[in-house]
Structure 1
Amino acid sequence: TPDAVTNLGEGGQDGIEEIISRVSSALSRLDDSQHMVSTHQITIDGDTAVGRCYLHAQHIRKVTGGSPLFVVAGRYEDHYVRTPSGWRISQRRIVSMWTDGNLDVVQF
């Protein structure tokens, strides 16, 4: 939604423009990334819903010293609203369950 809110691990973003800017900036600094999302569970209550899904994200960036790989696994916790254009995410929060690799890969 235009007023969506996210918390992707290092503070939140308010509004779709801020979310797009944050995600675009982060992804543009990586050499490659792959985000796999699975096991969606959604509970609908009228025109709102809550859901969760699991993620496994690999991030690749050449850094001085160390592996170019950082992996995070966890889940997204989402809130949805039904709009005239269909269902939209209004809130998303990442809950990290484990990480592996070189944290410098995602330190910008």
Structure 2
Amino acid sequence: MTEVPAAASAAPQLLAAYAWLIDDRRWTDFGEVFTDDVVADYEAFTCRGADALGSRMESIHAGLDATQHLVGSVLVTDRAGGVRVRSHVQATLVRRGLPGGSSLTVGARYDDRIVRVAGGWRIAERRTRGLWTRGNRDILPWMADRGRFEPSDSPQKGRHT
């Protein structure tokens, strides 16, 4: 019997919980949405484990004045290897006082595999793919140096997954 109906109910809540964890800076609570052994590929880095991912996100977001993560277009499917959830995210990051502007908005896609655990559903695998940026990339210096995205306000060219 497929898990898709139950997962389809849980997935939007799970993704919203992740967005709020980031925006509320609750780095030690990543176990609420990720499995202990999650494998998370964010293109610029890969982590294994909810605690390691929380620590990495804390370091990436250090120095930011505010963030807002909006997740939508949630699609749940039953595929080989388990229940898959695809979604879009727009993350706006704010660091006031920088030359070139105080905000950066990133458009990306999450491809997740979620699993049912005793406490509900958790993300067991995440693959994030950046699609576009708008604003001051110097807000996240490692992003400005990557060369993965095309200039601000334009869609990503090249590989699409």
Q: TM-score, normalised by structure 2?
A: 0.61
Report the counterpart of residue 4 of structure 1 in structure 2: 38
Give the partner amino acid of 2:50.
Answer: I
Matching residue's letter, 1:56:
Q
1:22 is the counterpart of 2:62: no
RMSD: 2.0
Q: Does 1:62 align with 2:84?
A: no
Alignment partners' CA distance in 1, 2:97 and 2:127: 28
Which residue of 83, 95, 101 maps to 2:117?
Answer: 83
User: In structure 2, what is the equivalent of residue 50 of structure 1?
Assistant: 84
User: Percent of counterpart pairs with the same letter?
Assistant: 32
**Residues 10-54 of structure 1 deviation map (CA, whole Å, 9 limit, x = unaligned):** 110111111010112222321111010001101136x93111001
- Equivalent pairs counted in the alignment come to 108
Task: Give the match for residue 150 of structure 2.
Answer: none
> How far apart are the structure 1 equivalents of 2:99 and 2:49?
37
Structure 2: runs of 5 or more not aligned: 1-34, 143-161
What secondary structure, in the 3-state scheme, does the structure 2 residue paired with 1:30 have? coil
Mark the runs of 5 or more structure 1 residues left unpaired by the alignment. none
Higher normalized contact order (CA 8 Å, seq sep 6+, divided by chain length): 1
Deviations along 1:68-89, whole A, 9 cap, x unmatched? Answer: 1111112111011122222110
- Supply the distance in 2 between the matched residues of 1:71 and 1:64 (Cα, whole angstroms): 15
- Kindly provide the amino acid, as one letter, of the partner of residue 25 in structure 1: S
Higher strand share: 1
**Residue matched to 1:100:** 134
1:68 aligned partner, one-letter code: S
Q: Is residue 36 of structure 1 aligned with residue 70 of structure 2?
A: yes
- CA distance in 1: counterparts of 2:44 and 2:64, whole angstroms: 17
Deviation at 1:63, TM superposition (A): 5.0
Q: Specify which structure has the higher proportion of helix.
A: 2
